[in-house]
């Protein structure tokens, strides 16, 4: 793993430093009493917040491979996500081989009028995340792992897209068993989420967020 950190464009120490920088702001905020306003830092002053705000779902990719060292760093960030009881109730399969991904898309499309393979948004690397069915919080664990991967990818200049539709298409597919056997998840795990990665060929604007869904309760 050390070589991964050494070779990646950004070192794990840098990622860690950025995360710690974000945590120190949270700590400052939580030390203050409710009545004392906490001075907020602008995005430009805080690389963690800047990175969170810069992440967007990418649906147009350059067909340029993402180096395995870079993917390994992204995956390392993923498995360091908080997770219930440290059960790490996920399994991840990474497909960065075009022929293998094309085969999965072909199987998914079989017996259907449409090319459901386009639901991968043409991302050259696809991760398939499965959850441990025996753990009731495993879907959250998988979501947190996915978010850590997407945020670390953003910080490395790699675009990402979280995808639910391929899960539906695979689970509804007459070739479901063949696809799942290619992915080789352990017994007791079920496909939960896909996340695609690649170098972005678009820079979409942020979609509006609804602050009415957030309230402080006094």
Written as six digits, the tokens of 164 are 């639910």
Q: How far is the CB of 212 from ligand FMN (least distance, A)?
A: 17
Structure tokens at 39: 């001075």
Q: Cα separation of 156 and 4, whole Å?
A: 13
Binding flag, residue 67, ligand FMN (CB under 6 A): no
Question: Of 46, 51, 56, 155, which one interacts with ligand FMN (CB under 6 A)?
Answer: 56
| Residue 119 contacts residue 196 (beta carbons within 8 Å) | no
Residues 6 or more apart from 58 whose CB is under 8 A from it? 121, 123, 159, 160, 161, 198, 200, 201, 202, 204
Residues 4, 162, 182, 183: which binds ligand FMN (CB under 6 A)? Answer: 162
The answer to whether 213 contacts ligand FMN (rule: CB under 6 A) is no
**Binders of ligand FMN in range 73-132 (CB under 6 A):** 121
* Residue 60 touches ligand FMN, criterion: CB under 6 A: no
Query: Smallest distance from the beta carbon of 95 to ligand FMN, in angstroms?
Result: 17
What track of x and - describes contact with ligand FMN for positions 2 through 41 (by CB under 6 A)? ----------------------------------------
Q: What is the DSSP string of 186-215?
A: PTTEEEEEEEEEE-BS--PPPPP--GGG--
137/184 Cα distance (integer angstroms): 22
Minimum CB distance to ligand FMN smaller for 88 or for 122 = 122
According to CB under 6 A, which one of 163, 170, 179, 192 is a site residue for ligand FMN? 163
Contacting positions for ligand FMN (CB under 6 A): 56-57, 59, 121, 161-165, 207
């Amino acid at each position: 793993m050390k070589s991964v950190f050494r070779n990646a464009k950004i070192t794990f120490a840098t990622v860690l430093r950025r995360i710690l920088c974000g945590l120190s702001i949270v700590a400052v905020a939580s030390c203050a009493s409710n009545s004392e306003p906490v001075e907020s830092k602008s995005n430009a002053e805080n690389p963690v917040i800047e990175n969170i705000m810069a992440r967007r779902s990418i649906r147009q990719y350059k067909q340029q491979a993402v180096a395995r060292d870079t993917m390994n760093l992204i995956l390392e960030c993923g498995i360091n996500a908080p997770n219930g009881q440290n059960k790490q109730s996920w399994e991840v399969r990474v497909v960065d081989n075009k022929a293998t991904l094309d085969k999965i898309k072909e199987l998914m499309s079989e017996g259907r009028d449409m090319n459901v393979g386009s639901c991968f948004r043409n991302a050259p690397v696809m991760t398939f995340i499965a959850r441990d069915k025996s753990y009731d919080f495993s879907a959250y664990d998988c979501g947190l792992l996915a978010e850590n991967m997407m945020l670390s990818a953003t910080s490395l200049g790699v675009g990402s897209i979280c995808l639910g539709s391929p899960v539906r298409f695979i689970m509804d597919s007459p070739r479901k068993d063949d696809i799942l056997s290619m992915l080789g998840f352990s017994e007791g795990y079920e496909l939960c989420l896909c996340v695609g990665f690649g170098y972005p060929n678009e820079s979409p604007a942020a979609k509006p967020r609804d602050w009415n869904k957030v309230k402080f309760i006094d």
